[in-house]
Chains A and B, each alone.
Chain A
Amino acid sequence: MSAGQIREPQVLDALRSVMDPDLHRDIVSLGFIRNLVIEGDTVSFDVNLTTPACPVKDRLREQARQAVLQGVPGIRDVRVTMTAEVRRPQAPDTSALKTVRNIVAVGSGKGGVGKSTVAANLAAALAKTGAAVGLLDADIYGPSIPIMMKAGRPAEPREHFIEPGEAYGVKLMSMGYLTPGDQPLIWRGPMAHKAVQQSLLGVNWGELDYLVVDMPPGTGDVHLTLVQTVPVTGALIVSTPQDVGLQISMKTLRMFQQTKVPVLGIVENMSTYVCPHCGGRDDLFGHGGAREAANRFGVPFLGEIPLDAAIRRYSDDGRPVVLAEPDSPSGAAFTEITGRLAQQVSIQAFKHIALTIVEE
């Protein structure tokens, strides 16, 4: 067969055998194939994924290549370029935060479980993959993102909006920017409500693939404001392995469920202590509790982060460990969890039904 006879439909038919493992549909009907060019016996195309943080990127590339090589006679070379474009849930255009595609809330039941550490590392890891990322520190009680990300440039008020700060390619806004230095925020509910609304809607976020919101612990004013002000794509629950932490985390999980915010998954922090001297492992707070809880509630378990002195050291230094030491056990755990989180966000974006009120 001469190479000139190869036609586009043949290539697309061959590619239909490649399935996206999360969306359970083939990559052609999902519209992932772009810029298909056939030149003689060489075929090149882009596979446009739903997130640059996709953990199965390399596997899909190889599957697509093999599918065409084996499925279309006469082909000698297949060139696959992996690209990504983060889709947004279909939301009405009138929705607040039009230029933000996905809003991910990071919550916990009690304080001190490492919510902000997780939020900062996820945001940094997402930005590292090439996504446009914002991080809103909505913890009015203990805003810690300015320390953990050592914001080079803090947020600045402009005429009609606030210009976000930036660090490691992540746009930043923190409740901590609203008071000078070490002054606490002493607010009644309505003040917290207004501040959070303004941090969501009054900040010049620009085009974002992901806006990560670091929530205060528990289920309070800030949570209600968030779920009532914007369509939240999903929530991530951070818990420690021991029972008391978990039980309270499950209240937060139920709050998100009651307000129809999909739970993207649970992360177990402070999971296992690995002794830096002897390499021995010790489960200081127990182990595996969050995985069990995730199974019980039927939500994805996204991974475990070990108790690692490097996390504390780099956090105090203003550098997320996932960037400072990506190959350390905790750095690797964050990278893995980021990939799984991005998968879950893509799944939600495809499942989401637009909430619009149609005039009859």
Chain B
Amino acid sequence: MLSPEATTPVEIRKKGGERLTIRWADAHESVYLARTLRGRCPCAQCVSETTGMRLVTEEHVRPDVSIAAARPVGNYALHFDWSDGHTTGIYSFEYLRRICPCPACVGADAERPPL
């Protein structure tokens, strides 16, 4: 179970369309590459609603995919418009923290379906 601090962003930075950095209230920093993030889209087109199986992975997306636009969703998530036209994913902060790609976090927690 992640603490509220671990899932509360204090700073969100975007470098062009390539990279997103989130600094969390527990002082951890997560750096996401666009392609990784696109390949872990939690929407119903990318993850089967009935089986929970991932249908679209990093291998399925264009290597040069980028973030066309990003905006907060209420208080709890981020939404991305991707350069490949995909727009249906809502990435909750809890989900984003779970998929933090840093060596310390990888393997710490399995990917979970989002809210």
Contact = CB atoms under 8 A, between A and B. Distances in A.
Contacts of B76: 227, 258-261
A293 to B, nearest CB: 19
Interface in B44-94: 70-78, 90, 92-94
A119 B13 CA distance: 38
A355 B115 contact: no
Contacts of A355: 9, 12, 72, 75
Secondary structure of the B contact surface, majority rule: strand
A229 B12 contact: no
Contacts of A360: 13-16, 19, 21
A228 B73 contact: yes
B9 A228 contact: no
Interface string A108-146: 000000000000000000000000000000000000000
Contact of A258 (B11, B70, B115): B115
A230 B14 contact: no
Contact residues on A (Cβ < 8 Å of other chain), bracket: 20 to 34
Nearest to B73: A228
Given A228-B90, A355-B9, A357-B70, A259 B15 contact: no
B12 A357 contact: yes
Given A231-B75, A260-B74, A261-B74, A359 B14 contact: yes
Interface string A85-103: 0000000101000000000
B30 interface: no
B36 interface: no
Interface of A: 92, 94, 226-232, 258-261, 353, 355-360
Closest A-B pairs by Cβ, 4 of them: A260-B76, A260-B75, A360-B15, A227-B74
